[in-house]
Amino acid sequence: MDATVTTIVLLAALMHAVWNALLKSSADRLVELTTLNLSAGLIALAVVPFVGFPATESFPFLLATLLLHVGYYAFLILSYNRGGLSLVYPIARGGSPVLVALVSALFLGEVLSGAQTLGVAIITASIAGLAFAGGVAGLSSTAILFALGTSVMIAGYSIADGLGARVSGAPIAYIASLFVLNAFPLLLVLPVLRPGLGLRGLGRQCKTGMLGGILSVGAYGLAIWAMTRAPIAIVSALRETSVVLAAILGATFLREPFGPRRVLASIGVALGIIVLRLAS
């Protein structure tokens, strides 16, 4: 992976951390996430006339990732309802690079070198360190389980989208189609879970939802594009460095703790990035 792709993935990580912090701080996370997805879908819909549609070979991957994203949103909301950003986010994001690396090696023929595997391992271990930096006493086992479920969904849609973008013939068209489709599931579920909410209820979180939508499109769009230029496992590991940024945001704006152990974990993530760069 060259320096340009690495920089783009790290930018995607920053954008991802910010929209997750917006979601965690929201008074109603389901409404916030629905507004975010709707905003992202509208942005993507405006792009479709200019980029067209992806090749039909990518359609099965679009369907798979749509279903996996629904599972991801369900687990993510359940996780945030039971645990803080600095617990849930590192577990959810930290477990997926290992799963992606295993699946990529076993089924996709993308076997990482020893040095690349070491870099992924350092990043994953450091991310786990962020989650448990404050000790294990008082941590919600339910939140941890839901966060692990979130991690499985992340690994699933990362692989599906990486492969889908590769066979699409036009990665930008694939990304746009994905966000348009992804706007509907929560929009259809919301009236059932929040009866009588109406457009006014969505409007109350319009500003943060629109900002989150812009960041979501940018964050995941850049990551998918990078997966067409580099091994999916490496992109996944670099993208999950967003947990360091999320921990900083949680400490700065949500009054969540950020002690010496989190500093060490952050250094570990940086070391893992350096190893990956040297191994590429």
Tens-digit pLDDT profile for residues 38-68:
899 999 999 999 999 999 999 999 999 999 9
Q: Rounded CA gap, 116 and 272, in Å?
A: 9
| pLDDT (mean) for 14-36 | 83
61 half-sphere exposure, CB direction, 13 A CA radius: 23
Mean pLDDT confidence for 19-39: 83
The more confidently predicted of residues 269 and 158 is: 158
- At residue 224 the predicted structure's pLDDT band, cuts being 50, 70 and 90, is very high
Q: What is the CA radius of gyration of the chain?
A: 18
Q: How many helices (H) and strands (E) does the chain have?
A: 13, 0
Cβ distance 276 to 120 under 8 Å? yes
Question: Percent of the chain having pLDDT more than 90?
Answer: 36
- The per-residue pLDDT for 273 is 83
Q: Are 133 and 256 in contact (CB under 8 A)?
A: no
Residue 280: pLDDT above 70? no
Q: Residue 120: enclosing H or E segment and its boundaries?
A: helix 114-131
State how far the Cα of 128 lies from the Cα of 151, in Å rounded to an integer.
Answer: 12
Identity at 216, one-letter amino acid code: S
- Ramachandran class of 89: left when φ > 0, alpha when ψ lies in -120 to 50, beta otherwise: alpha
pLDDT in tens, 168-207: 999 999 999 999 999 988 888 777 777 776 656 666 677 8
Region 226-245: mean pLDDT is 87
Least confident of 120-124, 131-135, 190-194: 131-135
Q: Would you say 89 and 253 are in contact if contact means Cβ atoms under 8 Å apart?
A: no
Can you give the pLDDT at residue 133? 63
**Least confident interval from 2-11, 209-218, 246-255, 262-271:** 246-255
Domain boundaries, the chain: 3-279
The predicted model scores a pTM of 0.84
Structural contact between residues 190 and 70, judged by C-beta atoms closer than 8 angstroms = no
